[in-house]
Each structure stands twice: as structure tokens, then as C-alpha cells.
């Protein structure tokens, strides 16, 4: 029997604000990937190489080994609006602000 645990994190957290140097309430959100820049050197180089005839010039990665991703939390201080990110360990199932598990709760079918 494989034990599947869901990581459940509350939407607010009292933690250290790096700007103020004291613990304050923070809003928690899952960090998303930013929009890729068209002007980054690697992108310009890749586009230049792709131009014209000759098909795909660089290898496209297919041999994916990992089954999970590291979860990034984006914490925003409610007082000074300072934002910083924190890494959570790898997990397959992630939930933000879900219901808490009750101890000794009756199992319903």
C-alpha cells in the first residue's frame, strides 16, 4: 500500500519579514514562472540559429527523470508588502488553504 500524503499549507503564516527584521503575518501563494524575455541573450542566439532552412538545430529534452517539482511559496508581508520566496520539499500533491485534518475523526465512506 502506497501512502499518498498531500501537503496542505495555510493561506496566512506568521514568519520573519526580511525588511522589518521581525515576525509579521504573511499572505502565502504558490510562485509561478515568470514570462520569458524575448531579449535574453540565449533566446536571441537560439532564434538566430533557428532562422532559415535546416530544421531544429538544438536538442529538445525528452528524458524527464523527476516525477515531482519543488514547491515555491511566495510570501507577502501584510504590513510593508515586502515579498520573498521559500522552498518547500518535493511533493506530488500540493494544496493551499485546504481543510485541516481532525484528530480521531470518524472515517466516513
Please answer whether residues 8 and 88 qualify as being in contact, where contact means their C-beta atoms are separated by less than 8 angstroms. no
pLDDT digits (tens, 9 = 90+) for 53-85: 999 999 999 999 999 999 999 999 999 999 999
- The C-alpha cell that represents 92 in the structure block: 506530488
pLDDT digits (tens, 9 = 90+) for 7-37: 999 999 999 999 999 999 999 999 999 999 9
Instruction: For residue 76, give the nearest of 10, 29, 32, 36 by alpha carbon.
Output: 29
Give the span between the Cα atoms of 77 and 19, in whole angstroms. Answer: 9
- The C-alpha cell that represents 79 in the structure block: 504590513
pTM of the full structure: 0.75
Instruction: For residue 18, give the nearest of 96, 76, 95 by alpha carbon.
Output: 76
**How far is CA 14 from each of CA 28, 62, 63, 90, 102, rounded to the nearest angstrom?**
10, 41, 40, 22, 22
Amino acid at each position: 500500500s502506497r501512502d499518498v500524503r498531500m501537503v496542505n499549507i495555510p493561506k496566512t503564516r506568521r514568519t520573519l519579514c526580511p525588511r522589518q527584521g521581525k515576525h509579521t503575518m504573511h499572505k502565502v501563494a504558490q510562485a509561478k514562472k515568470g514570462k520569458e524575455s524575448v531579449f535574453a541573450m540565449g533566446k536571441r542566439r537560439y532564434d538566430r540559429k533557428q532562422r532559415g532552412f535546416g530544421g531544429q538545430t538544438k536538442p529538445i529534452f525528452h528524458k524527464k527523470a523527476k516525477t515531482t517539482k519543488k514547491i515555491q511559496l511566495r510570501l507577502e508581508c501584510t504590513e510593508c508588502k515586502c515579498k520573498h520566496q521559500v522552498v518547500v520539499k518535493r511533493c506530488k500533491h500540493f494544496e493551499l488553504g485546504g481543510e485541516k485534518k481532525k484528530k480521531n475523526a470518524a472515517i466516513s465512506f
